[in-house]
Amino acid sequence: MAEAAILRVRHCRADIFCRRPPARCPACGRPLRGAGLPAAPLRLPSPFRHGHRQPRAFLLRPTAGTFLGGYDGKSDLHVGITNSHGVVYNYNEEGIHRAETGWEQCISIPLVQPDMFGLLQEWDKLLEEFSVGEAWLPHRYEEHDYNCYTYALAFINSVLAAQGKQQMSKSEFTEKFVIPQTKKVSKYITLHQELTANEFYVVPLPDQEKRC
């Protein structure tokens, strides 16, 4: 099912979020046609990606359900690494999985730049060889201390080490790459929830932006 668009219209010194562009401002009732460029509907970019279309990426999704399907912001997240074909390698109490479905609504963090030609060619081999190691047998799994994040970060660090680059701690990787994405997701989920319950969601603009 396609994700419903979220639109933003700026009028009455406020951001007005909606699913369909209104003919009149819900705050003042005046027509929006001819109200200037700020009043033109702008579609907000979705922070989510179809994980199986994101090659060589670090993915996050809720362990159960989807981000827009009841996620409360506190439930556990599951992470994985894609190969060049969008197969998601992930680790849980059953061991390593190679998923071709189930990651259709994710946060995606690309791991390989287009100019890294050698790594582009070797990625699938490195990921497969890393994943068949004894370190990722089912009995080693531990929910809080040896889990899907442990696996994904260990693979990323193995690649960094092979390139002679400094490895990253969980806190470093989370702060640099994950938190900026989850902040965007949190705001988007709030808008989605508000527009599920109401036709409009009105947010007053900060004083420095009240120019329209």
> With 0-12 CB in 10 A as exposed, 13-18 as middle and 19+ as buried, what is 35?
middle
> Same domain, yes or no, for 139 and 105?
yes
> Same domain, yes or no, for 106 and 132?
yes
Q: Given a cut of 90, is residue 69 above it in pLDDT?
A: no
> Same domain, yes or no, for 70 and 163?
yes
Query: Which two tokens mark 88?
Result: 């998601």
| CB-CB contact of 105 with 66 (8 Å) | yes
> Same domain, yes or no, for 16 and 79?
no
Taking alpha carbons only, the member of 41, 29, 53, 59 closest to residue 5 is 41
User: What pLDDT, on a 0 to 100 scale, did the predictor assign at position 208?
Assistant: 53
Q: In which band, very low, low, confident or very high, does the pLDDT at 209 lie, cut at 50, 70 and 90?
A: low
> Same domain, yes or no, for 197 and 102?
no
> Same domain, yes or no, for 124 and 148?
yes
Higher pLDDT, 66 or 96: 96
> Same domain, yes or no, for 11 and 86?
no
> Same domain, yes or no, for 35 and 114?
no
> With 0-12 CB in 10 A as exposed, 13-18 as middle and 19+ as buried, what is 195?
middle
> Same domain, yes or no, for 13 and 34?
yes
148-162 and 117-131 are packed helices; what angle lies between their axes, rounded to 10 degrees?
140
Q: Given a cut of 70, is residue 164 above it in pLDDT?
A: yes
User: What pLDDT, on a 0 to 100 scale, did the predictor assign at position 93?
Assistant: 97
User: What pLDDT, on a 0 to 100 scale, did the predictor assign at position 57?
Assistant: 97
Domain that holds residue 15: 7-44+191-204
> Same domain, yes or no, for 123 and 37?
no
pTM, two decimal places: 0.88
Classify residue 152: in a domain, yes or no: yes
> Same domain, yes or no, for 92 and 39?
no
Q: How many domains does the chain have?
A: 2
